[in-house]
Amino acid sequence: MSAADSPARDRFLRLKGHETTLAGALTVRRVLPAAAKRSVGPFIFFDHFGPVTLPPELDTDVGCHPHIGLATVSYLFEGGFLHRDSLGTQQTITPGAINWMVAGRGVAHSERVPEAERGHPRRLHGLQLWVALPPDQARCEPSFQHVAAADLPHVTLDAGGSGPSGSESPVRVSVRVLVGEAFGVRSPVRTASPTLYLDITLPPGTSWTLPPLAEEQAIFSPEDALTVDGEVLAPRDMAVLPAGEAVVLQAGQHGARLVLVGGQPLAQPVRMWWNFVSHDPALIEQAVADWAAGRFAPVPGETERIPAPPWRGLPGSHAN
């Protein structure tokens, strides 16, 4: 077969994810890790939940559980939840804010329905991501950052007037810089490695060229289809973009809201088991034993502890 006869290759890697259940009640779509791509930049875990209206009786509390070797990143489009951790933090997260918790050598936390919302129908829509820490910081002291929506930088960019036909007003693309630096502004969130997380809104019919902003980057649209260099990207599919290249994004008649994640690729692969991440499998095994023995610091106000699954060793290890 000649090169001219060869089928065209996709411009990007498409990750469809799979559905799972959080807290026994809330359906989530897990996009990372995937068999075709374990991470994008330092992001090793990507969960999308909602949009959904939850009935009053539905319990979506996630009780006290541990982490090592990562940072959790919580971002909501709708709804709210209450974060508590073993550092003594008690923080309600609301739409547009960032919660960034560094687990380091070990932290425990819970995520619960705010008391004011219990017993009422409630909307919930958001993203829960994990970032792997670099090897030299994986055993750091745990910490917590909360950045309110009003404190995250926002820019509007000229899309070149390429909006719906007949539109005379300038077409502007909205970008909120949640983590990292882009388009001349920087988020106040402190990271352990070059990391980028953007919330982008395209007006209806807009065509906009997204430049390469990170060594690795991917986009995800929770509700809106769009095209990427002429290829349709369905809602809730992730597109891992070609490295170092600009792509043209085209919104449909209702516009599109999407997030971009990326950054510096991992220096070396990490192992993941339950809520634990490490470059060293022995540290995961130790964390399992420490959680079972109650050696993680307690979370003030929490009496429930989620037990770990039965430990049978990491996949592919001699302990299996």
Q: Are residues 143 and 18 in the same domain?
A: yes
Tell me the C-alpha distance between 60 and 81, whole Å.
10
**pLDDT, greater one: 9 or 232:** 232
| 162 pLDDT tier (thresholds 50, 70, 90) | very low
* Helix (H), strand (E) at residue 288: helix 281-292
Q: Are residues 202 and 88 in the same domain?
A: no
Is 158:85 a contact under the CB 8 Å cutoff?
Answer: no
Whether 111 maps to a domain, the answer reads yes
Whether 69 maps to a domain, the answer reads yes
Q: 262-320 pLDDT, tens per residue? A: 999 998 999 999 999 999 999 999 999 999 999 999 999 999 899 999 999 987 654 33
Q: Are residues 84 and 194 in the same domain?
A: no
The token duo for 23 is 């807290």
59: pLDDT strictly greater than 90: no
Hey, how many other C-beta atoms are within 10 angstroms of the C-beta on 246? 12
Whether 310 maps to a domain, the answer reads no
Tell me which of 263, 280, 311 is where a domain ends.
263
Q: Are residues 279 and 138 in the same domain?
A: yes
The token duo for 82 is 């209450």
Whether 38 maps to a domain, the answer reads yes
Domain count, the chain: 2
Q: Which amino acid type is present at position 240? A: V
Q: What does pLDDT average to over the chain? A: 91
| 187 pLDDT tier (thresholds 50, 70, 90) | very high
Q: Are residues 124 and 212 in the same domain?
A: no
Least confident stretch, 9-13, 88-92, 223-227: 9-13
pTM equals 0.93
169: pLDDT strictly greater than 70: no
4: pLDDT strictly greater than 90: no
Containing structural domain, residue 235: 152-263
| 171 pLDDT tier (thresholds 50, 70, 90) | confident
Q: Which amino acid type is present at position 67? A: H
Q: Are residues 64 and 140 in the same domain?
A: yes
Q: What is the pLDDT of residue 5?
A: 34
Percent of the chain residues past pLDDT 90, beyond the cut: 83
Whether 315 maps to a domain, the answer reads no
Contacts of 110 (CB under 8 A, 6+ apart): 61, 62, 63, 64, 65, 83, 84, 85, 299, 302, 304
Q: Which residue has the tokens 């330092």?
A: 42
Q: Are residues 206 and 283 in the same domain?
A: no
Least confident stretch, 17-26, 148-157, 227-236: 17-26
Whether 5 maps to a domain, the answer reads no
Q: What is the pLDDT of residue 26?
A: 80
| pLDDT mean over 109-119 | 93
Q: Are residues 144 and 159 in the same domain?
A: no
Using CA of residue 65, residue 71, residue 77, residue 80, what is the dihedral sign?
Answer: positive
The token duo for 131 is 């970032």
Q: Are residues 224 and 203 in the same domain?
A: yes
Q: What is the pLDDT of residue 319?
A: 39
Instruction: Name 47's bridge partners.
Output: 30, 128
Q: Are residues 52 and 70 in the same domain?
A: yes
Contacts of 91 (CB under 8 A, 6+ apart): 82, 83, 99, 144, 146
Q: 19-55 pLDDT, tens per residue? A: 987 655 688 999 999 999 999 999 999 999 999 999 9
Mapping DSSP to helix (H, G, I), strand (E, B) and coil, where does residue 32 land?
Answer: strand
Q: What is the pLDDT of residue 159?
A: 86
Contacts of 22 (CB under 8 A, 6+ apart): 28, 47, 49, 60, 62
Whether 94 maps to a domain, the answer reads yes
57: pLDDT strictly greater than 60: yes
Tell me the Cα Rg of the chain. 20
Whether 8 maps to a domain, the answer reads no
Q: Are residues 257 and 279 in the same domain?
A: no
Which residue from 11, 125, 143 is spatially nearest to 89, judged by alpha carbons? 143
Q: Which DSSP category does 135 fall into?
A: G
Here the CATH number for the domain that contains residue 188 is: 2.60.120.10
Hey, how many other C-beta atoms are within 10 angstroms of the C-beta on 316? 9
Q: Are residues 237 and 186 in the same domain?
A: yes
| pLDDT mean over 136-144 | 97
